[in-house]
């Protein structure tokens, strides 16, 4: 799961949480499976409830994901 870098500040402030540094940097793959030049260095941990689906302690990687604020994988 990915969360846009611009949204993280608002989420962290509202929920009073801090980002966590990754021990190892990660690369992003674009929709066409090509490796992007963007590097992920931090994450946040959240509890998500979407409709009737609950997922606790979800790791959301912080990245500049162009046209989206959040990209969720299958819950």
- Cα separation of 73 and 4, whole Å? 15
- C-beta atoms surrounding 38 within 10 Å: 15
Domain ranges of the chain: 2-71
User: Of 5-9, 10-14, 29-33, 67-71, where does mean pLDDT reach its minimum?
Assistant: 29-33
Q: Is the pLDDT of residue 75 over 60?
A: no
pLDDT digits (tens, 9 = 90+) for 25-71: 888 776 677 777 778 889 999 998 888 888 888 888 898 877 788 88
What pLDDT is stored for residue 19 in this prediction?
92
- Give 60: exposed, middle or buried? Use CB within 10 Å, 0-12, 13-18, 19+: buried
Q: Could you tell me the pTM of the whole model?
A: 0.75
- Say what the pLDDT of residue 74 is: 58
């Amino acid at each position: 799961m990915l969360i846009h870098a611009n949204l993280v500040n608002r989420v962290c402030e509202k929920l009073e949480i801090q980002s966590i540094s990754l021990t190892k940097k990660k690369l992003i793959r674009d929709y066409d499976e090509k490796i992007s030049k963007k590097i992920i260095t931090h994450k946040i941990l959240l509890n998500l409830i979407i409709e009737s689906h609950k997922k606790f302690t979800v790791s959301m990687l912080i990245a500049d994901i162009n046209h989206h604020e959040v990209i969720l994988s299958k819950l």
